[in-house]
Each structure stands twice: as structure tokens, then as C-alpha cells.
Amino acid sequence: MTLETDFIVIGSGIAGLRAAVEIAQAGARVTVLTKDRTSESNTEYAQGGIAVALSEEDEVALHEEDTLSAGAGLCDERAVRVMVEDGPRYIQELIDWGTQFDREGGRLVFTREAAHSRRRILHAHGDSTGREIVRALIARARAERGIAFVAHAATDSLIASEARCAGVRYLDPLVRAPRELRARAVILASGGAGQVFLHTTNPQVATGDGMAMAYGAGAELADMEFVQFHPTALNIEGAPRFLLSEAMRGEGGVLRNERGKRFMTRYHERAELAPRDIVSRAIVAEMQRTATRTVYLDMTAFDKKYLLQRFPKIYETCLRYGLDLSRDLLPVSPAAHYCMGGVRTDLEGRSTLAGLYAAGEVACTGVHGANRLASNSLLEGLVFGARAGRAAAVDCMSASARDFDNRVAATDSEQQPSGSRYRQGDVALAVRKRVRRLMWERVGILRSREGLERALREFEQIAQAPLARASRNFLTVATLIARAGLWREESRGAHFRMDFPERDDQRWRVHSITRTGANISASEEIDFNAVTSDR
């Protein structure tokens, strides 16, 4: 069954909701497809806050400088400038739409996080910033008559040819049957891919489907090797890797080893406020040095009342596992957290495939470079979600979905393999378990040629299994990350090669560009007009 709308947005995080509102304001119909409930996204789980140069002690130029510094020489300066300059007005717009950021005496409260030179992080309800932003944006979106939400609709593939994307294929949540939805354009805002790793702070929906679908349809991806690992995820056997916010160290929390000794001062001059990649590797090194599987985050120097006010959600979650922030050391270790790479876009969210736009973590604008600055992700999703929505409306409003029907075909018309539904689900679960462990052990915080090649050989073998198609997107994303990690023979930002431990600006100050049917190529810019060369 084929349906039709004006525009499709895949994902209901900050980027997708902001894009949908922008398109609806242009007078178009928008269908928002979400894999889970409407409010389920990486945005909802964002505790740390949203960075913006709005305080009296801050400047846009300083925010830009900090972002470029964290990006390890690989940020697109124009994209960074767009984000930090446009950020204040979009934050004000969120406030106007009802977002309740924390205040004292009527004034916004700004906090500081690692690698920021100023206090510029806005929070809501202490550590529930993402949830508050999603609440306000969903309310704003529901006020637009042109926006329709379809929850629990798992998108499988894009409808496209080499020339254009004109829709998606998804599983109808009501009748559990495949559907085709045609549109003038598709905006990918499906989030990241943390779930391809064994340990991650990401929700279950973050499986990289958007990246895999774009790749399969012919769009270019960039910088897939750069995956950020958050240093401090709660490390309790049998419990999910709950994120312990960067802000806890920003407010003065310290890391201690198994012996109770503070250790970050031995690894970096900024200690706990060093960039995330450095803190993550320092924790791994300290665990190896002390032959343990965890280190500890110490917040016991703070008053209980302050901790309850500043980190209410974290406090409550830790209590559930028998830990009191004001009295106990919290066992932590790194976990996969954020993908800097993704669908290659210009400054307006256009991908290299006509009719396909992307924003948020699924996209690569070049803003984050090789290592995202803490709390920039929500701002990027907000700013570039609006820009992608606006560009899609301007580019495609004059056409109808039917205008593209004779030019496109489904990119993957292969039928589901025979066998019981139970058997397919059973195999998919086994495939994902194996892929996640391989990604953690071979494509994780510390990488090497031997480990990456071994992972890629196993991925290839897994892909040959008759029933592996159910995990096709999952396996594709894992393969793309490993392949790009093997290609980059240096260490930069979140990508660390034990066999190439030094940063090499002479050869590798370039972006990796990945597309179907071609070797990885190098580009000096994310912009499509950059000169590329095979390597």
C-alpha cells in the first residue's frame, strides 16, 4: 500500500521536531515517523544541557574557539560559525515556545562543562534538559495543523534512485504490514548509532538506521570513524549504562581509582575537565594499570541538598541501585555515546542525494570535527534542524510527490526470506549481540589494524547468513565505522589507533567520505564542492 504526504521527517528528537515545525510553517503537510513513542529519542536522554553564548561573561567568538579546539583540527569553521551565531536566537525561540530552563531570581543559570572556557550550559530541571526541550517542541509541533505523528513505525529503507529520494518504506504499527510513503522530500533526523556497541548510553532506538538507509540509497557519509565515548557511565553489573552527566565533573566531581586515589592529574593538565576522549582513554589506562574494571566518580564533597537540586534524575537513579551521591563513590567506565560522523550535508542540511536532507546526530555537518564539545549536540540539532526544514520547504514546495513517481523505485525490493517470524527475530538478536561485542572489543576506544580487520572479516561472514537481512542496517553501520577506522592511519580526537598513536596533520587533516560502490576518499571540507582524492 502506497500513501502520500508533502514531507517526511524520520525521528522526533530536537532536530526532527524543529525541522517539522519549520516545514509546517511554510504551509506543507508533514508526517513524522518514529521507531518508538513520539518522545523517545537521544534528545530525551540528554542530561548535560545545551551550550549557547548568552551569559554576560561569554562571547560567540569564545564558543566558536572552544568548539574548534575540541574538534582536533577537523571542524568545518563555517558550520561552527553558523551554529554559535544562530544559536542564541533559536534558544530564545525555544524559551518563547515554553521551554523552562533553570533560573535563579528570574535570570538564566549557566553552568560549565569539560573543555568550555566559560559557563555557557543551560539546563532544565537540573539534569532533564533534553526531556524538557522535547516536551516543549512536541507541544509546539502539535499546535501546527499540518504535522501528523506516526509512532512505532520502524523505517526500513528509502525510496530512491541515483537521481532522487522520494519517500520511505516502513512497517505500519497498526496492522504490522509494510507501507510505502511518498513525499516531495525526506528529512532524516533519526539520531545516532550507539547501540552497535556493547556498552552505550544511548536508548534502544539508536541503531543507526538513518545512516544505513542513506548509504544504501546512494548518499555520501562522512567521518564515520569518529565515535565519542562518554567517560562516565554507571558501571553496575546487570544495570544499563546510565549516563552520569559531564556537568558532575564540571561542577567539581573527581575521578578516583580502585584505591581511592585521584588519577586524572597524571594524565592531563585540565584533569577531570579534559576533553572526553582524553578522559575516556585515561580511565581505560587506569583500569589496566590497577587491573580493575571500573573507576569511581566522587561527588561526596557536595551537600546532599545541592545534589538533589542540581542532579535530581541522576540522584534518583543511583538510589535505585543502592548508591547515594552524597555519601558513595559511583562506579563508572566509558560507554559509546555520540557519532560525529553521519550523512554528509551542506550548511542547509542537503545531502548529496536530491530530495534527502539530514540534521542532528544522523548528519555530519562538520561542526563536531573529530571530537564533539560537550553540550553542542542539542544546539546543532536545533539550529540545523531548522535550516534543513527551511531548505526542504524552499527547494521542494513547487513539486508534488507524484512528480517523482516515474523517476524512482524502491532501493531494496527484496522480499523477506522464508522462515518463521520467530526464527528471524532469534537470528537478528544473535547477530546484534555478536556485532555489538565485536564493535566494543575491536572498534572501540583503542583500535588497531589487526582488530579492525578481524571485525570486518567477521562482519562479512555474518552478512552471508541467509537470515541476517533482518539486521542489515545494523550490520551496515558497524561495517562503515570499522572500515573508516581502518582507513584513518593516525590518532585524532575520538579515533585512537594504537599502531598509529600520533596525530598527523600533514596527511590526515581531511574528512573521510564513504559512498556505495567506491573506496573511501578524502575531502578537506564537508561541503560537496571540496576536491576529493582516492587514498
Kindly tell me if the per-residue pLDDT of 410 is higher than 60. Answer: no
Are 374 and 10 contacting, i.e. CB atoms less than 8 angstroms apart?
Answer: no
CB atoms < 10 A from the CB of 288, how many?
Answer: 10
Q: Of the candidates 477, 494, 497, 478, which has an alpha carbon nearest to the alpha carbon of residue 486?
A: 497
Are 418 and 179 contacting, i.e. CB atoms less than 8 angstroms apart?
Answer: no
Give the model's pLDDT for residue 69.
Answer: 93
DSSP structure string for 3-14:
EE-SEEEE--SH
Give the model's pLDDT for residue 43.
Answer: 57
Kindly tell me if the per-residue pLDDT of 241 is higher than 80. Answer: yes
Kindly tell me if the per-residue pLDDT of 442 is higher than 90. Answer: yes
User: In this predicted model, which residue has the larger pLDDT, 175 or 42?
Assistant: 175
Which of 91-105, 106-120, 163-177 shows the highest mean pLDDT?
Answer: 91-105
Mind listing the domains of the chain with CATH numbers? 231-333 (3.90.700.10), 421-506 (1.20.58.100)
Q: Give me the residue label for grid cell 566494543.
A: 440
Are 88 and 79 contacting, i.e. CB atoms less than 8 angstroms apart?
Answer: no
Paired sense of beta strands 178-182 and 2-4, if any: parallel
> 263-294, pLDDT tens digit by residue?
999 999 999 988 888 999 999 999 999 999 99
Helix 376-396, helix 129-142: angle, nearest 10: 20
Q: Give me the residue label for grid cell 537540586.
A: 309
Q: Quote the mean pLDDT of the chain.
A: 90
Are 133 and 110 contacting, i.e. CB atoms less than 8 angstroms apart?
Answer: no
Give the model's pLDDT for residue 324.
Answer: 97
Task: Kindly state the cell numbers that stand for 104.
Answer: 535563579
Give the separation between CA 296 and CA 318, rounded to whole angstroms.
Answer: 13
Give the separation between CA 414 and CA 118, rounded to whole angstroms.
Answer: 53
Kindly tell me if the per-residue pLDDT of 224 is higher than 90. Answer: yes
**Percent of the chain's residues with pLDDT above 90:** 76
Active centre residues (catalytic): 276
> 474-494, pLDDT tens digit by residue?
999 999 999 999 999 999 999
Paired sense of beta strands 30-33 and 7-10, if any: parallel
Ranges 36-50, 273-287, 500-514: which has the least confidence: 36-50
Per-residue confidence at 534, pLDDT binned at 50, 70, 90?
Answer: very low
Give the separation between CA 250 and CA 270, rounded to whole angstroms.
Answer: 11
Give the separation between CA 408 and CA 423, rounded to whole angstroms.
Answer: 33
Q: Going by C-beta distance under 8 Å and a sequence separation of 6 or more, which residues neighbour residue 268?
A: 274, 278, 279, 282
Give the separation between CA 170 and CA 165, rounded to whole angstroms.
Answer: 15
Give the model's pLDDT for residue 100.
Answer: 95
Task: Kindly state the cell numbers that stand for 58.
Answer: 561569554
Kindly tell me if the per-residue pLDDT of 126 is higher than 90. Answer: no
Give the separation between CA 16 and CA 210, rounded to whole angstroms.
Answer: 12
Q: Which spans in 291-349 are helix H?
A: 304-310, 312-320
Average pLDDT over residues 492-501: 97
Residue 104, judged by CB atoms within 10 A of its CB (0-12, 13-18, 19+), counts as exposed
CA angle 421–203–95, rounded 5-degree value: 135
CB atoms < 10 A from the CB of 103, how many?
Answer: 10
